[in-house]
Amino acid sequence: MRARHTASRLLQYLLLQALIAILCIFVLVHPLPEPPSNYVVTGFQLNDRGETRRATLPDFVPTRASMQDPAVFTGHFTWSAREADGGWSVYLPRFTNGVVVLVNGVEVLDSRRDPTANRADRATPEIAVIPASLLRDGANELVIRLFVWGPISGFLDKVYAGPDASLRRYYERRTLLFVTLPAVFSAWQGILAVILIVMWAMRRGEAAYGALAAAMALGAIQGFLPSAIDQPAFPELNSTLLTAGPTESACVLAFGILFFGRKWPRVLGPLIFIPGVIVALVGLFGNPVVTRQIFLYLGVPAILLHLLLLALIVGWSEMRRQDVPSLLLGCGVTVVLTSILHDVLEVAGFIADDRLFFTRLSYSAMLVAIGAGLTFRFAQALNRVDGFAAHLAIQLHAAEDKLKASFAREQERERAAALSRERARLMRDLHDGLGGQLVSIVALSERGTEGGRIGEAARAALKDLRLVIDSMDDIGGDLMLALGSWRDRAAAQLRPHDIALDWRAAPPGLPVYPELRPWHVIQIIRILDEAVTNAVKHAGAKHVAVSIETRMEGGGEHGCITVTDDGKGFSIGGENRPASRGLRNMRNRAARCGAVLELSSGAGGTTVRLQLPRRFPEGDAAAG
Amino acid sequence: MASTEQLPAQEITILLVEDDPPTLWRLQDALVKAGFDVAAAQNLAEARASLAARIPRVLLTDLQLPDGHGVELIRETRARHPDTEIMVISALGDEETVISAITVGATGYILKDAFPSDIAATVRDLVAGHSPISASIARFIVRRTQANAEPPPGPELNTAKLTPREIDILWGIAKGFSYAEIADNLGMSRQTVPGHIKSIYRKLEVHTRGEAVFEAVQQGLIKL
């Protein structure tokens, strides 16, 4: 089943290539339009190396070693002064390799001065206007000296002499086809070379692009090089580059092998470059004639072989993958192969030889295929990248959503935990303060006669309530803000007892503690409250002083709050039970906040010194 | 202002509005003992009747009244009798009560459990032009001056009119520094601090409906 499928695919591919080849042949053998036959110059006498014979154009002369020994064609054409409208020209559609044209003994054209005309692979036409003063009424002599420098034999197609107005458009048409178009394609090949070099430079791993860039660069250079006949500055280098065709085709083949996914054959791979190297070495060290010979007999077959191999590789790739680049290049190779076979057969004399070579021209079809194929691959890669990016974006989105959901859950849990912690703290604080005070209010009210003390207890309860409310406020770690409120409350508590509150706090006061939490604030304020209450209730003090300062100790800042009274003091750990319970409370609270409580008491009064920690602890571990 | 400072206590008339009888007796007792001329009312209607009969120098009012809210009484009094000093009576001195009273025209507050001597002193200070302010109220106001995307909870307050100096004074009070320390720190005269506080209260007041709309537009709260 699969084999049948493959076979049918192969058949389809081969049929397509055959169709393309047939179309090519049809185009190649289709004759180009010719000027009216009454302008053809006939009846030529050929004088070649001392021999004279009649010649009918088109005609061939053998190749020769000397550049100074042309074959001379002598013919005649008729010009009538009366019938002549406008200037006359002599038009030579095709010749190899060079011509000098003389009318009535005067030179009107020397094609050797035109570099494109000197290249045998380009069918460059020539046209020359005959100065009116040269023309005679009646018969005019036309002499064509044909120079031949190989590697193929000399050739002279039909020669036309007639009104410039009717001849020139045929000349222009051929120029467009055989001169301008190849130049355009060479330029395009140059651009392709630059693009591929950049591509290869950015992606060194892709040797295929390097090989193709080399091929394109060689091709582009060849298109603009003068031939040896033009006497270039470095003739050897010049001829080497001009005959780099086998190297170029080897590079294209290497590209085909690499691009269509075949592993580079370690041993056989370099062999494809051997013909190119031989031709290049001969070009560098041999003489021009030998160079041209070796190009013809080694270079051209090598190119043909390379193209055949490329056709096989591309065909195989098309069978395997059925992708657009293989198909395009396959068709391109077929076009070039057909053309080169046509040209070779023509030179070898197997088919009618009109010396029109189409290899270079058809090569442009392959260039178009390569360009389109590469662009297709590039666009495909971009699409794949886009698809990948879109897929990635979807995945990212999903992950983000999941993360958001889990974050929201986490946040909700945290909020619930914080709320329950806060609730627990509030309960504890209210129990410690307000609860006890309310109980004592109840107890006092039952005794009936303790009016003043009931008021005192109730006031203490209110004061504590304010402390709890106040401590819930966010003070941004600035303990001074909490102490400011406490100052108001403490002053209100002391005023009825006629005790002055001496407040010493120089700006800026205490350092800011970013980790400060409400429960720290409550502990600290309760310690200070206890100290003030002791001064009022037990010590009988007249003055209470609170001083707030920041001390530099051990390389760090320590906040320090000191409460001093001038009361009668007490003995620490003595028999005064409520006082000692209060002291124990104060120490506990200080420990929970990581603060150090120092207490000294004597006849002159009591000093409570609370040294705040560098950092307040996070958990209320001692709370139990 | 200088003339009122010398005003004898019996010439200072007070209207006291409080619905809880024991609290009313306690406050009235404290004020009468200090020599003030006190009229009492237990609800809005009584208070309005009393105001119609006699314009007091000082209005002391609770906010939660059986037939309405003290805020209305403060707003009315402020509009009709601009010379009357207004104080709110608060159980806890929390910002909720005090700030909402200040925004309608009160310039001070008294704690319900304050000692009689303190109550009298506060009224006397107020008549002399010295508005009382607690550290926690100052803290609440300055926190509202800080540009936050999400305003902290509590009553609405427009602090746009406060000057940087006034905000500095509030910071000093919030941190428990004395007026003297604040004045020294800011390089100003100690006697001017109480005046600044009354001015702060006045700036926090939203005077009329029209002005409230104007301010809302200014702050971009309302789009025209």
Q: Is B92 in contact with A492 (Cβ distance < 8 A)?
A: no
Show me where the domains of chain B are located. 2-127, 135-218
> Which residues of B fall within a CB distance of 8 Å from A550?
none
User: At residue A397, does pLDDT exceed 90?
Assistant: yes
Q: What is the pLDDT of residues B192-206, one digit of tens each?
A: 888 888 888 888 887
Tell me how crowded residue A515 is: count the other CB atoms within 10 A of its CB: 11
Question: What's the average model confidence in pLDDT over A323-351?
Answer: 87
Give alpha helix (H) positions in A30-100. Answer: none
Q: What is the pLDDT of residues A119-162, one digit of tens each?
A: 877 888 999 999 888 888 888 899 999 988 766 788 888 899 98
Spatial contact of B55 and B98, defined as CB atoms under 8 Å apart: no
Side-chain half-sphere of A597: how many Cα atoms within 13 Å? Answer: 23
Least confident of A362-371, A424-433, A467-476, A558-567: A424-433
- The percent of residues in chain A predicted with pLDDT above 70, rounded, is 93
Spatial contact of A603 and A541, defined as CB atoms under 8 Å apart: no
Q: Using CA atoms, how far apart are residues A342 and A340, in angstroms rounded to an integer?
A: 5
Give the residue on A whose Cα is nearest the Cα of B121.
Answer: A495
Question: What's the average model confidence in pLDDT over A211-233?
Answer: 80
> Would you call B175 helix, strand, or coil by DSSP?
coil
Predicted pLDDT of residue B4: 44
User: At residue A251, does pLDDT exceed 60?
Assistant: yes
Q: Classify residue A137 by burial, with Cβ atoms within 10 Å: 0-12, 13-18, 19+.
A: exposed
Residues of chain A whose beta carbon is less than 8 angstroms from a beta carbon of chain B are: 458-459, 462, 465-466, 469-470, 473-475, 478, 480-481, 483-488, 492, 495-496, 503, 505-507, 509, 548
> Which residues of B fall within a CB distance of 8 Å from A477?
none
Spatial contact of A322 and A270, defined as CB atoms under 8 Å apart: no
Residue ranges and CATH numbers for the domains of chain A are: 2-30+203-357 (no CATH), 40-173 (2.60.120.260), 477-624 (3.30.565.10)
DSSP B11: G
Q: Locate B74 and state its tokens.
A: 């403060």
Q: Is A466 in contact with B174 (Cβ distance < 8 A)?
A: no
Predicted pLDDT of residue A65: 67
Spatial contact of A76 and A140, defined as CB atoms under 8 Å apart: yes
Predicted pLDDT of residue B3: 41
Q: Classify residue B184 by burial, with Cβ atoms within 10 Å: 0-12, 13-18, 19+.
A: middle
How big is the A-B interface in CB pairs under 8 Å? 70
Choose the closest CB to A505 out of B113, B134, B177. Answer: B177
Q: Locate A60 and state its tokens.
A: 């061939």
Q: Is B173 in contact with A481 (Cβ distance < 8 A)?
A: no
Q: Is A462 in contact with B92 (Cβ distance < 8 A)?
A: yes
User: At residue A465, does pLDDT exceed 90?
Assistant: no
One digit per residue, the tens of pLDDT, for chain B of length 224 reads: 334 445 677 788 999 999 888 888 888 989 999 999 999 999 999 999 999 999 999 999 998 888 888 888 998 998 889 889 999 988 777 777 788 888 888 888 888 878 888 889 889 988 888 888 888 888 888 888 776 545 555 667 778 888 888 999 998 888 888 888 888 888 888 888 888 888 888 888 876 555 555 555 555 555 54
Please give, rounded to a whole number of angstroms, the shortest distance from the CA of B63 to a CA of chain A: 19
Question: Across B113-181, where does the E strand assignment appear?
Answer: none
**Which residue is associated with the tokens 């651009």?**
A191
Higher per-residue confidence, B2 vs A113: A113
Grade residue A576 by pLDDT with cuts at 50, 70 and 90.
Answer: low
* Residue B66, phi then psi, degrees to nearest 5: -60, -35
DSSP A228: G
Grade residue A621 by pLDDT with cuts at 50, 70 and 90.
Answer: low
Most distant CA pair in chain B: distance in Å?
Answer: 55
Contacts of A69 (CB under 8 A, 6+ apart): A49
> Which residues of B fall within a CB distance of 8 Å from A506?
181
For the residues of A366-415, what is the DSSP string, one character each? Answer: HHHHHHHHHHHHHHHHHHHHHHHHHHHHHHHHHHHHHHHHHHHHHHHHHH
Q: Are strands A71-79 and A44-48 parallel, antiparallel or unpaired?
A: antiparallel
Predicted pLDDT of residue A169: 92
Give alpha helix (H) positions in A431-517. Answer: 436-447, 451-472, 479-494
Q: Is B174 in contact with A507 (Cβ distance < 8 A)?
A: no
Q: Is B139 in contact with A483 (Cβ distance < 8 A)?
A: no
Radius of gyration of chain A (CA): 54
Higher per-residue confidence, A248 vs A473: A248
Predicted pLDDT of residue A412: 86
Question: What's the average model confidence in pLDDT over A465-476?
Answer: 78
Q: Locate A615 and state its tokens.
A: 């950092």
Predicted structure pTM score? 0.51
Q: Using CA atoms, how far apart are residues A228 and A245, in angstroms rounded to an integer?
A: 16
Q: What is B135-218's CATH topology?
A: Arc Repressor Mutant, subunit A (1.10.10)
Give kind and range of the element (H or E) at residue B70: helix B70-80
> Which residues of B fall within a CB distance of 8 Å from A462?
91-92, 113
Q: Using CA atoms, how far apart are residues B112 and B125, in angstroms rounded to an integer?
A: 17
Question: What's the average model confidence in pLDDT over A492-517?
Answer: 84
Q: What is the pLDDT of residues A403-450, one digit of tens each?
A: 999 999 888 888 878 877 777 777 777 766 777 677 777 767 766 666
Give the residue on A whose Cα is nearest the Cα of B119.
Answer: A492
User: At residue A532, does pLDDT exceed 50?
Assistant: yes
The most confident of A30-34, A232-236, A504-508, by mean pLDDT: A30-34
Q: Using CA atoms, how far apart are residues B81 and B55, in angstroms rounded to an integer?
A: 7
Please give, rounded to a whole number of angstroms, the shortest distance from the CA of A457 to a CA of chain B: 12
Question: What's the average model confidence in pLDDT over A162-190?
Answer: 90
Give the rounded distance of the alpha carbon of A129 from its chain centre: 57
- The percent of residues in chain A predicted with pLDDT above 90, rounded, is 18
Q: Is B181 in contact with A474 (Cβ distance < 8 A)?
A: no
> Which residues of B fall within a CB distance of 8 Å from A466?
92-93
Q: Using CA atoms, how far apart are residues A241 and B110, in angstroms rounded to an integer?
A: 107
Contacts of A373 (CB under 8 A, 6+ apart): A324, A325, A326, A328, A329
Q: Is A481 in contact with B114 (Cβ distance < 8 A)?
A: no
- Average of per-residue pLDDT values in chain A: 84
Give kind and range of the element (H or E) at residue A525: helix A518-534
User: At residue A79, does pLDDT exceed 80?
Assistant: yes
> Which residues of A fall within a CB distance of 8 Å from B113?
458-459, 462
B2-127 classified as CATH 3.30.70.360: no
Q: Is B117 in contact with A496 (Cβ distance < 8 A)?
A: yes
Give the residue on B whose Cα is nearest the Cα of A484.
Answer: B176
- If we measure between CA atoms, which residue out of B163, B174, B109, B165 comes closest to residue B139? B174
Q: What is the pLDDT of residues A272-312, one digit of tens each?
A: 888 888 888 888 887 777 887 888 888 888 999 999 999 99
What ipTM score was computed for the predicted complex, to two decimals?
A: 0.73
Q: Is B176 in contact with A469 (Cβ distance < 8 A)?
A: no
Question: What's the average model confidence in pLDDT over A325-351?
Answer: 87
Spatial contact of B16 and B38, defined as CB atoms under 8 Å apart: yes
Predicted pLDDT of residue A624: 39
Range A13-26 burial, b when 16+ CB lie within 10 A, else e: beeebeebbeebee
Range A63-85 burial, b when 16+ CB lie within 10 A, else e: bbeeeeebbbbbbebebeeeeee
Q: Is B174 in contact with A473 (Cβ distance < 8 A)?
A: no
Give kind and range of the element (H or E) at residue A127: strand A126-130
Predicted pLDDT of residue A475: 76
Tell me how crowded residue B169 is: count the other CB atoms within 10 A of its CB: 28
> Which residues of B fall within a CB distance of 8 Å from A437?
none
Please give, rounded to a whole number of angstroms, the shortest distance from the CA of B145 to a CA of chain A: 14
